[in-house]
Structure 1
Amino acid sequence: MPNFIWALLIALVVSLVITPFVILFADKTGALDAPDARKVHQKPIPRIGGIGIYLAFMAGTLFALDLNLLPDDVRTGVIGLLVSSSLIVLLGIVDDYKCLPAKVKLLGQIVAASVLVGFGVQIDFIADPFGDYFYLEYFAVPATIFWIVGLTNTVNLIDGLDGLAAGVATIASITILLVAIQNDFMLVTILTAALAGAAIGFLRYNFNPAKIFMGDTGSMFLGFMLAGISVIGAVKSAATIALIVPILALGVPIMDTSFAIIRRYRGGVPIFKPDKGHLHHRLLDLGFNQRQAVLLMYVISALLGFSAVLLNEVSGGIAIAIVVCVLLVVFLGAKKLGILRMKNP
């Protein structure tokens, strides 16, 4: 059986087994998410489920991946990913207990991303659909940090309904896994398989009605890992634009975050101020229940993921046409749902 299958299965089993203990620990230590006017749940829910996701991912990865068999530079990058992602988990745990200010949390994310870059993981170039490369040179480090912090926050911000962030992250992980298989990057298949397995196991307890939330511990970890893994290998080897695959794979949270920034800017409110204008809020307003809204967003994510996989198999002109069509559909859909309009929190 391929190592990436082992990584997925081990992570899945560990996540299923350990999450109930995380629920008990959260109850005993007061790590509970209380309901308020902006949230949709009606009673306090444990919110450090990301600990279970993190431990399951580590178990699956370390079981299936022999670091000693990797080239020195690759091994250093993987160790850097494991170390920096551990830092982001620690930041998330503190935030889930103490509710850190947005600026402090952002600074912590930048520090974790900088640690990853310090281990040599960075975006050195971007490939266009025609096989040419644009080298970032002096912009490589800031571009990598921006990319990692940006994706970390997109997953973090979409975590608003039971099972939403975990499901979308699972679909994105599987998308990048398939692209990695297409390009014969077995390291990335193991990492994404472990991430998918951990998230799937967690969904057993997180899907509506949720017994536990992943909290910032989980949402930041998932976003950080997807960003870091994409830099390490799978997408950089593709013949299409280097970062388009994970952008499409995470199209739902990226779209939601981008429109939230535009909406708040146009409304004259701080970008980090929460509101009820996110995609899942709009779907609830249209009469969808939580499960229906989440499942619809799964379908959208899966279609975007399929587009990303297809993008890796087509010529440059067709790749551009796919991206343009996706962007057009996203814009028209957002306009129809009123995501660009401000709504009172």
Structure 2
Amino acid sequence: MQLLIFFIAVLLCMLLTPIARVTALRLNIIDSPNTKLKTHKAPVPYLGGVAIFAAIGISMALFMVDSNIFLNSQQRGLLFSTLIILVVGLIDDIKGIRPVIKLSLQLFAAYIAWFHGISFMLFDQWYLNMAITLIWIAAMSNAINLIDIMDGLAAGVAGICALFVALLLHLSGDLFSSTLMFVLAGSCLAFLIFNFKPARIYMGDTGSLLLGFLLACTVAQWASGQQSGQHLIVPILILGVPLFELFFVSILRMKAGKSPLMGSQDHFALRLIRMGFSVKRTVLLTYACSVAFGAIAFLALFFHRFTYVLVALTLTVVFFLARRLSQVK
């Protein structure tokens, strides 16, 4: 059934994305290259995130009807908080929102999710679990948003991450969440048909915040059901590319005396371009890194003896790559 729902999500996103593109053009919801941070040459319509959301929503509704599943408290909380994120992203794409306000609304949506039971269970104190859950969800939402700076980059990486997370959840027996991740992956892969270079539509903050939020929430659900804190390493590795970007950009901006919330051209992908890589090669290389992170995560999951060795080797490689990229002006 999950395989069928996956392909339904792919088909729906393929059908809905052109509709979203036409709608965005008619409503003039476009991304114009009117600042130095935007490198595309011609205006590109937004609302790709709305198509992704619709494909995910319809696919999950069909799955629930077929499986005779009713939303529990956690799932209702996830739905409500996801709608908040969707609205925040949509307003930001249309009118723009100040970074501090946008972050506050993301934390509010994360709180709604936590209040309904989506939470890490690392500490005995509820407020510590709440704090780390809110920080994690907001961080991951913005991590996907940060890598959405190049045709096909965010959608492809999010789709790869979702496939690995779906496998994790499937192995743990969480049918609803694993199906959600398969559906998210299918929607992202279908969206790439229109978003890979040269992009005919962007997902915008509507899509990037949505994808990051759903990935973060499902990872928190998976981790809360694990008995060993060692398993936290697995989802962190799976989401290694967006998390690398988050820390890489934040550290460089703070070293330069800038706010991590303010945009700048210090993304790792843009630095690869300045090193001589083409856009397509940069995107494909990032995909390969995301697959490698996922593969290492599953090695760590099944071969516990080598977990810390794998992590140490991975961190060593990441450190040297970060150092090399940071030297690119």
Question: Which TM-score applies when normalising by structure 2?
Answer: 0.94
**Residue type of the alignment partner of 1:216:** D
User: For residues 132-143 of structure 1, what are the structure 2 equivalents within 5 Å?
Assistant: 135-143=124-132
Residue of structure 1 equivalent to 2:102: 105
Contact 1:236–1:243 (Cα < 8 Å) also in 2: no
Which SS does the other structure have where 2:264 is aligned?
Answer: coil
Contact 2:141–2:208 (Cα < 8 Å) also in 1: yes
Separation of aligned partners in 2, 1:270 and 1:89: 25
Indicate yes or no: 2:323 matched with 1:335.
yes
**Residue type of the alignment partner of 1:47:** Y
Q: Deviations over 1:55-105 (max 9, x none)?
A: 1011111211359866x8x72111211111111011100000111110110
Separation of aligned partners in 2, 1:139 and 1:66: 37
Residue of structure 1 equivalent to 2:64: 65
Residue of structure 2 equivalent to 1:269: 258
Consecutive unaligned residues in structure 2, runs of 5 or more: none
Separation of aligned partners in 2, 1:170 and 1:77: 23
Contact 1:53–1:218 (Cα < 8 Å) also in 2: yes
In the superposition, relative to structure 1, how do residues 109 and 67 fare at CA in structure 2: closer, same or farther (>3 Å)?
farther
**Residue type of the alignment partner of 2:46:** R
Deviation at 1:48, TM superposition (A): 1.9
Separation of aligned partners in 2, 1:284 and 1:7: 37
In the superposition, relative to structure 1, how do residues 238 and 330 fare at CA in structure 2: closer, same or farther (>3 Å)?
farther
Residue of structure 2 equivalent to 1:128: none
- Consecutive aligned runs of 4 or more in structure 1 exceeding 4 Å deviation: 66-70
Residue of structure 2 equivalent to 1:26: 24
Deviation at 1:265, TM superposition (A): 1.3
In the superposition, relative to structure 1, how do residues 13 and 5 fare at CA in structure 2: closer, same or farther (>3 Å)?
same
Residue of structure 2 equivalent to 1:92: 89
Question: Which TM-score applies when normalising by structure 1?
Answer: 0.90
1:320 to 299, 308, 313: 308
2:200 to 211, 218, 242: 211
User: For residues 55-204 of structure 1, what are the structure 2 equivalents within 5 Å?
Assistant: 55-66=54-65, 75-125=72-122, 135-204=124-193
In the superposition, relative to structure 1, how do residues 77 and 96 fare at CA in structure 2: closer, same or farther (>3 Å)?
same
Consecutive unaligned residues in structure 1, runs of 5 or more: 126-133
User: For residues 291-310 of structure 1, what are the structure 2 equivalents within 5 Å?
Assistant: 291-310=280-299
Count of aligned residue pairs for this structure pair: 328
Separation of aligned partners in 2, 1:18 and 1:144: 33
Which SS does the other structure have where 1:162 is aligned?
Answer: coil
Residue of structure 2 equivalent to 1:4: 2
In the superposition, relative to structure 1, how do residues 25 and 151 fare at CA in structure 2: closer, same or farther (>3 Å)?
same
Deviation at 1:37, TM superposition (A): 2.0
Residue of structure 2 equivalent to 1:47: 46
Deviation at 1:181, TM superposition (A): 2.8
Which SS does the other structure have where 1:276 is aligned?
Answer: coil
